[in-house]
């Protein structure tokens, strides 16, 4: 399938560098844990961690509502096993995209039960018009239209994650 570029690799690099600076300022001298939402956020988490200048731990959670060739969300599945101790730590929950908001809202609610000091969210992309929950990410890099996007970690049927840019699949 052809892919139309929506956000270039250079634009993503600038935005992630800026995000790293903001996170570093906001979490100076705080016990930060970066939690990446698998699998889509993996590229963002790796790039962001290299730009955050304050010491931080890493954890990964698995959450999915899109499976296979689906382009609209289905039932949400969360897997929080293997997380580091989050008690009294500041959590930055990093995801690739805020679409309906259901995934991020459910994750934040589950993480609150682990008694962190604070929880903030960071997303690369935000589809504001698709929100189904009252949730605003604490950090986001780009507002995007209601189109199915791939690249920079986002996939369609587990493909296209490798693209260095954000693109729209064209039929």
Domain ranges of the chain: 8-145
145: tokens are 């239209």
pTM of the model: 0.89
Q: In this predicted model, what pLDDT tens digit does every residue of 124-164 receive, in sequence order?
A: 999 998 888 889 999 999 999 999 999 999 999 889 999 99
CA angle at 115 for the pair 105 and 29, rounded to the nearest 5°: 100
- What is the rounded distance in angstroms from the CA atom of residue 70 to the CA atom of residue 6? 20
Instruction: Select which of 47, 90, 96, 99 is catalytic.
Output: 99
CA angle at 138 for the pair 132 and 142, rounded to the nearest 5°: 75
Residues 161-170, mean pLDDT to the nearest whole number: 95
Residues 12-30, mean pLDDT to the nearest whole number: 96
Q: What is the pLDDT of residue 62?
A: 84
| 99 included as an active-site residue | yes
Q: How confident is the model at residue 1 (pLDDT cuts 50, 70, 90)?
A: confident
Q: In this predicted model, what pLDDT tens digit does every residue of 41-52 receive, in sequence order?
A: 999 999 999 999
Q: Give me the chain's average pLDDT, please.
A: 90
Q: What is the CATH architecture assignment of 8-145?
A: 3-Layer(aba) Sandwich (3.40)
């Amino acid at each position: 399938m052809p892919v139309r570029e929506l956000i270039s690799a250079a634009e993503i690099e600038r935005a992630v560098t800026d995000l790293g600076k903001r996170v570093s300022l906001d979490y100076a001298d705080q016990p930060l844990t970066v939690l990446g939402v698998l699998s889509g956020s993996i590229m963002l988490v790796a790039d962001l961690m290299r730009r955050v200048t304050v010491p931080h731990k890493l954890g990964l959670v698995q959450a999915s509502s899109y499976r296979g060739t689906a382009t609209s969300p289905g039932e949400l599945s969360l897997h929080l096993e293997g997380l580091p101790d989050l008690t009294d730590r500041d959590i930055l929950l990093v995801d690739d995209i805020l679409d309906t908001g259901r995934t991020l809202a459910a994750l934040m609610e589950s993480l609150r039960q682990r008694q962190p000091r604070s929880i903030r969210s960071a997303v690369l992309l935000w589809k504001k018009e698709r929100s189904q929950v009252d949730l605003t990410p604490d950090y986001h890099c780009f507002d995007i239209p209601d189109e199915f996007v791939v690249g920079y970690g986002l996939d369609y049927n587990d493909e296209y994650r490798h693209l260095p840019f954000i693109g729209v699949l064209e039929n």
